[in-house]
Chains A and B, each alone.
Chain A
Amino acid sequence: MSSNFILILCLLAGFVIGFFNKKTGQSKAHALLLFATIIILIFCMGVILGYAPDLPKRMALYGYNALVITVSAIVFSAVTVWVIVKITGVGKRGK
């Protein structure tokens, strides 16, 4: 079973468990567990990055790549949605 399939199964399994859970409202334990998982994930990612001996040299390149992709992505997404609103008139009351 591919790792992607397992990840999607996890998302769907969580959805089904949550959907059939009778308790209402979001629990603090859920929020706390999610936060802890994210912190562990990012820490592990940092550890993997730190094992690269030429990390300081790479950081500037990472930052440049990330900045260019982000700026391009947000400009094009705003323009695309603006065009969609102009053409279809969807969600105009939201302004």
Chain B
Amino acid sequence: MLWAILLSLLAGIAASYSGLLPASLESIFNDMPFYCLCVMLVLVGYGIGKDKDALRVVLKQNVKTLLIPLGTVVGTLIGGAAAVCFLDLNIKESLAVAAGLGWYSFSAVYLTEVHSADLGAISFLSNVFRELFALFLIPVVAKFMGANPAISLGGATTMDVSLPVITRYAGSAAAVTAFIHGLVISIIIPFLLPLIIH
């Protein structure tokens, strides 16, 4: 999946940079992502709504379990704010990039739409990095800090891409927490990003 995504990004860059797609088409490509985002969010919402077993698991959990995704969001935003000291971005931009929490397909395109292609590109790379770092660091963090800090690394990816790694290195008991963590964060992001960037 990640390779297909990276290839499609590179193909898009190559097509326009090389002049294969003339500049007269730019306005079409500026408008199209919004409609695709709408379709993607309908599909994501559909997937969440249809998975009633997952919803039942979430509702059965102790409310305290929600502190884990909440901690991930708060910690990520603190990290995004702290990163400003080393960057030429303002705090809003840095927070918005961090608030993608690993969901690169939504956050990068959303920030391209509402802010700029530059911030969208930073967001895309940052969220791809988060997914990759999570896959490599979850085993280490699970060993030295425990299952929950390890889950927090994955952000929104803990309900899909990083779930097998969490199950393998943090134990099967952590898998339920990881799934809820990813689900809650995936629901939060579409509300959180507009709040930060506007």
A residues touching B (Cβ–Cβ < 8 Å)?
3-4, 6-8, 10-21, 23, 26, 30, 33-35, 37-52, 55, 58, 61-85, 88, 90-95
12 other A-B residue contacts (CB within 8 Å) besides A10-B41, A14-B48, A45-B121: A8-B191, A10-B39, A13-B45, A44-B12, A44-B36, A47-B13, A64-B87, A74-B133, A78-B141, A90-B68, A94-B170, A95-B170
Option from A44, A55, A75, A88 in Cβ contact (under 8 Å) with B64: A88
Assess whether B133 is in contact with A70, with CB atoms less than 8 Å apart.
yes
Q: Find out whether the CB atom of A46 lies under 8 angstroms from the CB atom of B23.
A: no
| Contact of A58 with B118 at beta-carbon distance under 8 Å, contacts A70-B133, A90-B64 already known | yes
Residues of chain B in range 28-63 having any CB-CB distance to chain A below 8 Å: 29-30, 32-34, 36-52, 62
**B147 on the A face (CB < 8 A):** yes
Can you name the residue of chain A whose Cβ is closest to the Cβ of B37? A7
With CB as the reference atom, state the residue of chain A lying closest to B25. Answer: A47
Contacts known (A30-B43, A65-B89, A77-B153); A52 close to B117, Cβ less than 8 A:
yes
Asked if A18 and B117 sit within 8 Å, CB to CB, the answer is no
Which residue of the partner chain, among A11, A33, A83, contacts B41 with CB atoms under 8 Å? A11
Interchain Cβ contacts under 8 Å between A and B, 6 examples: A8-B41, A14-B48, A39-B8, A52-B117, A69-B80, A91-B177
Contact call B112/A45, Cβ cutoff below 8 A: yes
| Cβ distance B11 to chain A, nearest Cβ, rounded Å | 6
Is the pair B109, A74 in contact by a Cβ cutoff of 8 Å? no
Q: How far is the CA of A13 from the CA of B194 in the complex (A)?
A: 18
Pick the contact of A46: B12, B41, B44, B174 (CB < 8 A).
B12
Whole-angstrom distance from the CB of A80 to the nearest CB of chain B? Answer: 3
Q: How far is the CB of A88 from chain B (nearest CB, A)?
A: 6
- B83 interface residue per 8 A CB criterion: yes
CA distance A7 to B109 in the complex (A): 12
Chain B CB count within 10 A is highest, among A39, A72, A88, for A72
**When A11-B44, A41-B40, A80-B78 are in contact, do A19 and B50 touch as well, CB less than 8 Å?**
yes
User: B residues within 8 A CB of A42?
Assistant: 5, 8-9, 12, 105, 108-109, 124
**Are A14 and B44 also in contact (CB < 8 A) when A66-B129, A81-B148 are?**
yes
Q: Are A37 and B68 in contact (CB under 8 A)?
A: no
Complex Cα–Cα for A19 and B191 (A): 20
How far is A15 from B183 in the complex, measured between Cα atoms in Å?
13
Q: Is B122 engaged at the interface, CB distance under 8 Å to the other chain?
A: yes
> Quick check: A66 and B36 within 8 Å, CB to CB?
no
Are A37 and B39 CB-contacts (below 8 A) given A8-B190, A78-B75? yes
Cβ–Cβ contact B12 & A45, under 8 A = yes
